[in-house]
A and B are shown apart, each in its own frame.
Chain A
Amino acid sequence: MDWLAEPFSHAFMQRAAVAGILAAVTTALVGTWVVIRGLTFMGDALAHGVLPGIALAVLWGFDPTLGAAASAILMVLGINVVHRHSRLNEDAGIGLLFVGMLALGVVIISRTPSYTGSLTGILFGDALAVTTRDIVLLAATLTAVTVTTAVFYRSFLVLSFNTDKAEMLGLHPRAAHVVMLALITLAVVASFRTVGSLLVFGLLVAPPATASLLVRRVPAMMAAGAVLGVASVVVGLLVSWYADTAASATIAAVAVAAFFVVLLFRPVSARR
């Protein structure tokens, strides 16, 4: 079993594993609602929408996490403005902001001296360059997401069932929707340093989607999604170590590959 333990004897791999595991559990809790409510396009857009803020942080030298959070908030507000002041569906607003923010981010980054390196780092992350501060941020985010998910569980569940029903039962669906978007934003912002803004989307969607093929209840979907996400992180880091591939991209690729493996080979009892 040395082949399993040896890579994780290095401090940077240990940090990468801890950060990846925290990110995987966080994104599984949030991603379950993303998959259930059909918010994957919104999740994708948010994962890309953080780019301008991070780019400005790189250019002006402030905390990229703050930049990412500001960008995400701006994006959600922009989507609401488009939806409310036009006859377009919400997904058209998401698409507009998605492309616009991504383009703006690339334009800003193109003004930096190390254009290619900065862009690669933001989009694909660097799991092997995780700091203790990143781990603390991820741990705090996981705690906040866990507590909020527990408190809002009934609101999120009935909101996912039917908005009018949630309103009738006094579960404040509009507030619950805003809280859900805030949780997606928090998960994306906290995780982008580990797996990158592009590939955080892989962890947000792939493990919960895989879990939905195997289990039949929401809490079980969260738990299975977390286990699958953690497994993707560990397997991805190992593959990356021995195949000398980019760690973050490998983690996301393993998570997506797991979905198709389960889709093909899941037990007959789970296919109903």
Chain B
Amino acid sequence: MTDAVVARGVELTYGDRVALAASDFRFPAGAITALIGPNGSGKSTVLAAVAGLHEPAAGELTVLGSTPRKERPRIAFVPQSTKVNDLLPVTVREVVAMGRYASLGMLGRFGPDDRAALDEALDRLDLQPLAARHLRELSGGQRQRVFVAQGLVQSHDMLLLDEPTTGLDIVSTEVIRQVVQSERADGCAVVITTHDFAEARAADHVVLLANRVVAEGAPEEVFTPENLADAYGLELNSSHEHVDVDDPAHRPTQTLHRHVEIPPLDD
């Protein structure tokens, strides 16, 4: 399997604060890579660096065989829904159409190919019935599907999704998961950041972060008690129950170590 992303000694910083200490990692081509770790562990910063939005302070980052900035036209980026201005007076169709601006530029004419790509993206995310609705009229799950459709409508070889299913209803989560699997089947490299162990376990490749790469590889290689203890400071108990470790409801208040149950790897 060739690699879509190769990082050698990559360090990511915000001024004096280190988001990712010098690290090596790789994201395979034509596969789903999940970036997982506690809040502030550097997941979104790594995604931004791969997108060419955050310049590494040190090291070498190769994306699709070149530098991230050069390959930007081949990368579709879906930002976190919380970082989007959802009060913008635009319809769903207009938001999704923005993805075509990557090829159209500031003045290119929206032609039949663009309209076909737009309709296909709306279909894939079950958004046709909502196409004329205003962004602020949608639920959180519907909005997130719009943002994913905006990424899909762009011609791309790599799809980056920043917490695409966080806080979503089951229907929207399932629609997005199907799209992610379909993208992978089409040979696209998909990278998602997540807090959800079940979502990460469904990926082909996992990178566990804690302001450094704690472990990377197949889910069963990464989700070991030692690695999770290292990343989260956890006591572990294997069970079928899914737990989001960043959900305050699952945080005991009187113990130093959080007690977390993770889904088994073999079901």
Instruction: List residues of chain A with CB under 8 Å of any chain B CB.
Output: 36-37, 151-155, 157-158, 160-162, 164-165, 167-171, 212, 215-218, 220-221, 272
Beta-carbon contact of A168 and B89 below 8 Å = no
Beta-carbon contact of A169 and B98 below 8 Å = yes
The answer to the question of B120 belonging to the interface, with a C-beta cut-off of 8 Å to chain A, is no
Give the residues in chain A near B87, CB-CB below 8 Å: 36
Q: Which residue on chain B has the smallest CB distance to residue A32?
A: B89
27 A-B pairs whose Cβ atoms sit less than 8 Å apart in the complex: A36-B85, A153-B106, A154-B106, A154-B107, A157-B88, A161-B98, A162-B79, A164-B51, A164-B77, A165-B79, A165-B84, A165-B98, A167-B53, A168-B77, A168-B102, A169-B101, A170-B72, A170-B73, A170-B102, A171-B106, A212-B89, A215-B89, A217-B90, A217-B91, A220-B89, A221-B89, A272-B134
A218 to B88, CA, bound (A): 8
Name A160's contact: one of B48, B73, B88, B99 (CB within 8 Å): B88
Beta-carbon contact of A164 and B105 below 8 Å = no
B89-111 interface code vs A (CB 8 A; 1 in, 0 out): 11100110011011011110000
Beta-carbon contact of B79 and A216 below 8 Å = no
Known contacts A152-B106, A215-B89; 12 further A-B pairs (Cβ under 8 A): A154-B106, A155-B106, A161-B84, A161-B98, A162-B85, A165-B84, A168-B75, A168-B77, A170-B72, A170-B73, A217-B91, A220-B89
Shortest CB–CB separation between residue B134 and chain A, in angstroms? 5
Shortest CB–CB separation between residue B168 and chain A, in angstroms? 18
The answer to the question of B17 belonging to the interface, with a C-beta cut-off of 8 Å to chain A, is no
Name B134's contact: one of A36, A171, A216 (CB within 8 Å): A216
Q: Which residue on chain A has the smallest CB distance to residue B154?
A: A169
Give the residues in chain A near B51, CB-CB below 8 Å: 164, 168
A165 to B104, CA, bound (A): 15
Residues 5-34 of B contacting A (Cβ, < 8 Å): none
Shortest CB–CB separation between residue A192 and chain B, in angstroms? 28
Residues 128-162 of B contacting A (Cβ, < 8 Å): 134, 137, 150, 154
A165 to B150, CA, bound (A): 10
**The 6 A-B residue pairs with the shortest CB-CB distance in the complex, in nearest-first order:** A168-B77, A169-B102, A169-B101, A162-B84, A162-B79, A154-B101
Give the residues in chain B near A217, CB-CB below 8 Å: 89-91, 94
Instruction: List residues of chain B with CB under 8 Å of any chain A CB.
Output: 48, 51-53, 72-73, 75-77, 79, 83-85, 87-91, 94-95, 98-99, 101-102, 104-107, 134, 137, 150, 154
Name B90's contact: one of A168, A171, A212, A218 (CB within 8 Å): A218
Shortest CB–CB separation between residue B225 and chain A, in angstroms? 36
Give the residues in chain B near A167, CB-CB below 8 Å: 53
Beta-carbon contact of B79 and A169 below 8 Å = no
Beta-carbon contact of B89 and A157 below 8 Å = no
Q: Which residue on chain B has the smallest CB distance to residue A150?
A: B107
A171 to B105, CA, bound (A): 7
Give the residues in chain A near B91, CB-CB below 8 Å: 216-217
A220 to B73, CA, bound (A): 31
Beta-carbon contact of A161 and B89 below 8 Å = no
A125 to B21, CA, bound (A): 58
Give the residues in chain A near B72, CB-CB below 8 Å: 168, 170
Shortest CB–CB separation between residue B69 and chain A, in angstroms? 10
Beta-carbon contact of B79 and A218 below 8 Å = no
Beta-carbon contact of A164 and B79 below 8 Å = yes
Shortest CB–CB separation between residue B64 and chain A, in angstroms? 14
Give the residues in chain B near A212, CB-CB below 8 Å: 89
A241 to B52, CA, bound (A): 59
Give the residues in chain A near B75, CB-CB below 8 Å: 168
A155 to B73, CA, bound (A): 16
